[in-house]
Structure 1
Amino acid sequence: MKAHNASRRRFLGQASCSAVSSIPLLNTLLNLRLASSIANAAPPVAGEYRAIVCLFLSGGNDSFNLLSPYSGPSSTHANSRTEYVNSRGNLALPLTGLREIHPTNTPGRTFAVHPSMPNLAARFEAGDAAFVANVGTLIEPVFNRGEVIAASKRLPLGLYSHSDQIEQWQTSVPQSRTGIGWAGRMMDLIKDINPGQAVSMNISVDGSNVFQSGVTGAEYAVNAGYNDGSGGGATPLTGYNAGYDVNSTFTNAASTAVDSMLAQQYSHLLQDTFQKKRRVAQDAYAMYAAATAPSLPPAATFTNGNPLSRQLRQVAKAIMGRGQLQAVRQTFFVQLGGWDHHSETLASQLSMLAGVDQAIGEFWRALVELQIQDQVVLFTASDFGRTLTSNDRGSDHAWGGNHFVLGGSVGGRKIYGQYPSLALNPDSGTEINPLDTGRGRLIPTTSCDEYFAELALWLGVPPSSLHLVLPNAGNFFTPGATGPLGFLA
């Protein structure tokens, strides 16, 4: 009988291990726990703080007009500006008004920032901003359109699909669909660097998102506020006031009832867990509201009528309140939609990029006023790039695109990665550009993993644990032996 029980226990143990290993979520949990000893980065020095801000341009920004050739040759043409005009047709920006920039790492070539972005161009020339060229979702390197046509390389799921590519930019796992983001996985690994955990390390000013969702927690969502400058911050429990309101008997009674309810202990596990969650939420609201209550310095002004400015104002207030939040490491998520310009691309970008430029200019000035510009990095992301060719009135979904990073720690005035040839392949005949899969849909020359790895390592993820945050990173570089791109020290 004892032998039978022992065999049964061994069988159940083996079956349990097999079941756990077959469930991705539980397997991820186990991996995180097993990795905890190597995941903990060296404790930051006293007073050190670092934060990254993801600016997601939802819809797929036409980024080869954000950053376009200005002078000098490309790899396929003696005059890169002429090549750009030939490929873009009626989507080409006129030379007049372009903001020429002079990267220090592209000898013989200059580039142009969109006319609506004087602040970005100025910050680039001052060395506080950089571009990362032709970034996109990749599982492994893809070098030419022949590999795409033959499917000889693993390709991301749902290329050119908004929903799939938004998810993949936020998870950096293009081979499968998951609700866990790379900032969420990063939080799972390094959140204990923050001494206080009442408010999540990941803060969103645009609702819930995949990017900041982890296994052990999720984003703390706050509001950007209204056009008149009112509101913003954490959302309170309706009808609750932690203090005594002499003018409201109802509020006092309701608040007393809530306090009494939150103080209760429950023997039922589900009830008790739910109650603890409510207490944690109330504590987080109180901490965040207090930390962001003070006004920003007078010179740190943001435009109420600009929705992105309002979001970045809330980020600036949370950064200013980092001491009360006991935050040493943070991520922030802000978002601006409406970039799916299948028509009226030039007119739409003219106004929308102006709004982005105004907001990031105001955010940079706020960081300088707070004397923390060297400890914060803002970076852009988007669903995908867009076709170089015109559909007559706009551009369509594509693959690789250009992005910018802004911060005092950025190795600025450079274009990182490979700015691609903008030549188009003919419908038949000799191939000119191996990266063009058709209509100027360019294969990325920089993977999202290389782009994101710079930010993750800078924030404190050890190279030995980077594969837990970015599972495909090792397909593009060797963490710990070689750096990804080099735009952050």
Structure 2
Amino acid sequence: MSNFNTSRREFLRISSLLSSAGALGVAAPFAINLATVASAAAQNNSGDYKALVCLFLYGANDHANTVLATDSESWNQYLNVRTTNEAGSIALPAVGATGGVLAITPNTAQAGRSFALHPNMPELRNLFNAGRAAILANVGPLVVPTTLTQYKAASVPLPPKLFSHNDQQSLWQAYAPEGAAYGWGGRMGDLLASNNSNPIFTAISASGNAVFLSGRSVKQYQVGSSGAVAIAGLSGSLYGSTMAGSTLRNIITSDSTNYFQKEHAATTSRAIAAQSMLAPAMAAAGPTGIPNPTQYTNPNTGALANNALAVQLQTVARIIAGRNALGAKRQVFFVSLGGFDTHDSQRTQQADLLARVSHAIAYFDTTMANVMGSDLRQQVTLFTASDFGRTFTSNGDGTDHGWGSHHFIVGGAVKGKDIYGSFPVTGLKHTLDVGSGSLLPQFSVDQYGATLGTWFGLSPTQINDVFPNITNFGNRNLGFI
């Protein structure tokens, strides 16, 4: 016990959590051994904790107005294609112009190229310049490395149901079209959940159900903006009776010979036990715990507004703050923001959406720098994903469905201030243009995920298990973390 460094306060906190769970009278699989949890918490204090946070941009973010090439040749092509009628033009102002794109200078030069971010992402530009954010250029679902000639001839296996929202969301999250059962976040959880004393807190969504977090054994745990969601009516007075709550608890958790009732009771028991543990383990929201996000400025109105994405990330931070009490050493989280299907009014809609993304990510980075006195930026990595990219051509005042897209990776472990991969040629009719400027990806989602998974602690064998197509690609670690 010489390495048992858990403080008396932490020990008592864990004891109270277990007492709460035990008082529920739940089934044996959800009971937790005190010594095991306390030992796990002691190990957590050594700093062996890592978390991945997936930020999914539902609807398909327009990558070409998010990360831009601004050298003369690229910018001229950009203006030529993306400038339409004055009212509906989706072209953004140049670097230095009022409301212009924000220049960035990657550490690794790409001959003759210069780059910028969307005008409403100043916080993310600051993170990039500080070396805590990187960009992965042109990533998307692939089965094998694919050339434009092979794509047009369909001479190699191609991802199914390209350009379909629901199917491509599922392909990004779970390597199969809509209806997939297991996501790569959940599969990572399956393989690393043994590091956690209670596996139920391995895969957690602050944004509803997501196939990304579904594992074969690990089940995703969903939380709301205020944290763990309790089953109503189990405590206090119910219908004027102080006894009705316990009666209801017995009804919904009692074992049964009926398989459906038995599974329902087990699931309910697990939910009750988990809520009773997570609620007191989470840090408070506000000055005494995890700071509340500031409001962001809506770039279209100039008005201050609450940012629901930042609130989701606050919930994630509050759970991370309780990692020791929960005995968690590896956790995968999911947050999201919708509205990116910008067939119309793209310039206005995307401006507000990307302002929220930038504000929320910066809030999360600042929060991770001081999680109840601990700097966890080195141990927590956030990455973005989306259905697909969009066409480079405009349909008038928006864009249509595409394929490859650019994405951000943020955290202290990230090899930041760089763009990974060759930034695509700006314009049309080039070697990656599958039509209307939609990009044929140069990197697969498998490579993206495998790089994150390696940092997270997966072995090469486990990487092969989680990412079924990774053996088709020579480069399985893209080096951004």
TM-score band, normalised by the shorter chain?
A: 0.7 to 0.9
* 1:174-189 map, 5 Å: 178-189=180-191
Contact 2:392–2:427 under 8 Å retained in 1: no
Contact kept? 2:193, 2:218, Cα under 8 Å: no
Q: 1:165 maps to which residue?
A: 168
- Single out whichever of 362-371 and 304-313 deviates more from structure 2: 304-313
> Deviation of residue 303 (structure 1)?
4.0
Cα shift at 1:380: 0.6
Q: Work out the CA distance in 1 between the residues paired with 2:253 and 2:449.
A: 43
DSSP 3-state at the match of 1:317:
helix
Residues in 1 aligned to 2:141 and 2:244: alpha-carbon distance in whole angstroms = 50
- Checking the alignment, whether the CA contact within 8 Å between 2:307 and 2:360 is kept in structure 1 is yes
Match of 1:291 in 2: 281
Distance 1:483 1:263, change over 3 A: closer
How many Å apart are 1:187 and its aligned residue? Answer: 1.5
State whether structure 2 residue 425 is matched by structure 1 residue 421: yes
Secondary structure in 2 matching 1:115: coil
2:444 to 444, 447, 455: 447
Identity within the alignment, %: 40
| Residue identity in the other structure for 1:238 | A
What residue number does 1:67 align with? 67
Task: State the AA in 2 paired with 1:439.
Answer: S
**Shift of residue 326 of structure 1?**
1.3
Quick one: distance in 1 between partners of 2:468 and 2:45?
A: 29
Per mean C-alpha deviation after superposition, the further-off stretch among 405-414 and 347-356 is 347-356
Secondary structure of residue in 2 paired with 1:347: helix
Instruction: Find 1:155's aligned residue among 134, 137, 158.
Output: 158
CA distance in 2, matches of 1:272, 1:177: 25
Give the alignment of 1:16-55 within 5 angstroms: 46-55=46-55
> What's the counterpart of residue 238 of structure 1?
232
The secondary structure found in structure 2 opposite 1:436 is coil
Compute the RMSD of aligned alpha carbons.
Answer: 2.2
The CA distance in 2 between the partners of 1:44 and 1:166, in whole Å, is 34
Q: Which has the larger radius of gyration?
A: 1
Letter in 2 for 1:332: F
Structure 2 residue matching 1:53: 3-state secondary structure: strand
Q: Deviations over 1:431-468 (max 9, x none)?
A: xx111122101101111111111111111111112121
Deviations 1:79-119 (A, max 9, x none): 22223223333322110221100101124432101110001
Contact residue 301 and residue 362 of structure 1 kept, 8 A: no
Describe the SS at the equivalent of 1:135: strand
The one-letter amino acid paired with 1:46 is: S
Give the one of 456, 464, 469 matched to 1:472.
Answer: 469
- Note if contact 1:300-1:365 (Cα within 8 Å) is conserved in structure 2: no
Shift of 1:391: 0.7
Provide the C-alpha distance between the structure 1 equivalents of 2:393 and 2:437, rounded to a whole number of angstroms: 6
Q: For 1:263 and 1:315, how far apart are their aligned partners in 2?
A: 29
Taking structure 1 as reference, are residues 110 and 264 closer, same or farther at Cα in structure 2, changes over 3 Å only? same
Contact 1:418 1:446 in 2 (8 A): no
Q: What displacement does 1:266 show? A: 4.7
Asked if the contact 1:87–1:422 (Cα under 8 Å) also holds between the matched residues in 2, the reply is no
Structure 2 unaligned spans of 5+: 1-42, 84-88, 296-305
Helix, strand or coil at the partner of 2:331: strand
Give the 3 Å change call, closer, same or farther, for CA 251–363 of structure 1 in structure 2.
Answer: farther
- From 69, 79, 82, the counterpart of 1:85: 79
In structure 2, distance between residues paired with 1:218 and 1:141: 32
Match of 1:136 in 2: 140
What is the one-letter code of the residue matched to 1:134?
A: N
- TM-score, with normalisation over the residues of structure 2? 0.81
CA contact (8 A) 1:303 1:310 kept: no
Give the superposition deviation at 1:271: 4.4
Q: Does 1:318 align with 2:319?
A: yes
Where does residue 116 of structure 1 map in the other structure?
Answer: 120
Whole-angstrom CA distance in 2 between matches of 1:60 and 1:450: 20
CA offset at residue 177 of structure 1? 5.5
Report if aligned partners of 1:300, 1:362 keep a CA contact under 8 Å in 2. Answer: no
What's 1:484 paired with?
477
* SS, match of residue 451 in structure 1: helix
Q: Which whole-Å CA distance do the structure 2 matches of 1:291 and 1:44 have between them?
A: 14
TM-score where L is the length of structure 1: 0.80
d(CA) in 1 for partners of 2:445, 2:377: 24
Q: What's the offset of the Cα at 1:48?
A: 1.1
Contact 2:61 2:388 in 1 (8 A): yes
| Shift in alpha-carbon separation, 1:202–1:263, aligned structure 2, 3 A | closer
Q: In 1, are the aligned partners of 2:161 and 2:167 still within 8 Å (CA)?
A: yes
Q: Does structure 2 retain, via aligned residues, the 8 Å contact 1:384–1:399?
A: yes
The counterpart of 2:196, out of the listed 190, 194, 197, is 194
Q: Return the letter of the residue paired with 2:163.
A: Y
| Residue pair 2:392, 2:436 contacting (<8 A) in 1 also | yes
Structure 2 match to 1:301:
292
For residues 280-325 of structure 1, give each alpha carbon's deviation from its aligned partner in whole angstroms, at most 9, with x where no partner exists. Answer: 1110011111112534556833147211111111111111111122
Q: Using the alignment, how far apart are the partners of 2:307 and 2:316 within structure 1?
A: 15
Instruction: Check the 8 A contact 1:173/1:471 in 2, yes or no.
Output: no
Contact 2:207-2:336 within 8 A present in 1 as well: yes
Q: How many angstroms apart in 2 are the aligned matches of 1:403 and 1:265?
A: 47
> Which secondary structure does the structure 2 equivalent of 1:170 belong to?
helix
| Residues 253 and 268, structure 2, Cα contact 8 Å, conserved in 1 | no
Does 1:329 pair with 2:330? Answer: yes
Are the counterparts in 2 of residues 51 and 329 from structure 1 also a CA contact under 8 Å?
yes
Distance 1:270 1:177 in 2: 22
In structure 1, runs of 5+ residues without a counterpart are 1-42, 73-78, 225-231, 426-432
What SS is found at the alignment partner of 1:454? Answer: helix
The range that moved more, 340-349 or 251-260, is 251-260
Distance in 1 separating the partners of 2:71 and 2:174: 36
Deviations 1:22-63 (A, max 9, x none): xxxxxxxxxxxxxxxxxxxxx989331100111111001001
How many residue pairs are counted as aligned between the two chains? 415
More moved, 404-413 vs 321-330: 321-330
* Amino acid corresponding to residue 58 of structure 2 in structure 1: S
Q: Is 1:405 the equivalent of 2:405?
A: no
